[in-house]
Amino acid sequence: MKQIANEVQQKLKELIADRSETDKGKRLFDAMRYSSERGKRLRPYLLVKTADLFNVDKERSLRAGCALEMIHCFSLIHDDLPAIDNDDLRRGFKTCHKQFDEPTAILAGDGLLTSAFTVLSDPKTHPDADIRIKLVDLYAKSTMGMIEGEFIDILADRGERFNLQEISHMQDLKTGCLISCAAMAGAILGKASEKESSALKNYSLDIGLAFQIADDILDIVGDEKKVGKALRKDEKAGKATFVSILGLDGARKKAKEIIDHAINELFIFGKKSDKLVELAKFIIERDK
């Protein structure tokens, strides 16, 4: 995972090189790069490892993974804004609007989202236009789902009441959409069969949900220094989360069940999917 993260880092730097048309525009690209410098790179990793099931050329899966990470980073910049989560720290570093300023953060987010589609439309991502346009469609729809999830999450932040089903649905959108997008992009690049796509979709929806439950648990028991952002915010705000509804043990049990289910879906791929099995386990065992 670390190796892929390094490759993603390198490739992102190359893809978000300073393309400013003017001297005065450089700072915008600095902000875009700054906000995509860190991270677990979970989504690109999942994308690359899914594509590996079908022996997809690494350069292609890496580019598609970077485009997805750019969208993920855009969403973090906008989530962190004063009008939304008002967070000062992200991954242990100042958030974009703290390091630069608010207008720059809004536009750097917009820029990362936009540039992801430039990466996808480049023949280097796949020589076949039909594959590239399928990726564009997948990414745009997944991003819209993620944005809706974020919108609903704000309602939860404001103390609106949610039941377990509503929380699950919100998380499916907010976190699940982009995680599922990673697996589906790997399937598109690999020209997966319908049966394979369906198994990967189920797997990715499961790990997306488990990821969010693990996040809710980390928000309670995590070490702020390791996680690199302010914790215990949900509890203080009285926000509905998996932990507030199921309790800590209930949430842990639920996450474990979901991960077992995810791993079962990979059965059809046999040993080739070992990395995806490990990833599923990592999702709920991580401490940051």
| Contacting residues for 39 by C-beta, under 8 A, at least 6 apart | 5, 69, 72, 73, 91
Scanning residues 76 to 95, which ones bind its own copies (CB under 8 A)?
78, 81-84
User: C-beta of 266: minimal distance to its own copies in Å?
Assistant: 26
Nearer to its own copies, 139 or 211 (CB): 139
**Which of 58-66, 163-171, 189-197, 244-252 is the region at the interface with its own copies (rule: CB under 8 A)?**
163-171
Nearer to its own copies, 158 or 195 (CB): 158
Cα–Cα distance, 3 to 23 (Å, whole number): 35
> Euclidean distance between the first and final Cα of the chain, in Å?
14
| Contacting residues for 171 by C-beta, under 8 A, at least 6 apart | 149, 208, 209, 212, 242
Report the residue from 6, 17, 57, 141 that binds its own copies according to the rule CB under 8 A. 141
The DSSP-derived string for 221-280 is: H--HHHHTS--SHHHHHT---HHHHHHHHHHHHHHHHHHHHHHHHGGGGGGGGHHHHHHH
**Which of 54-62, 100-108, 219-227, 265-273 is the region at the interface with its own copies (rule: CB under 8 A)?**
100-108
The site for its own copies (CB under 8 A) is made up of 19-22, 24-25, 27-28, 74, 78, 81-84, 102-104, 106-107, 109-111, 113-115, 117-118, 120-122, 129-130, 132-134, 136-137, 139-141, 143-145, 147-148, 150-152, 154-155, 160, 166, 169-170, 173
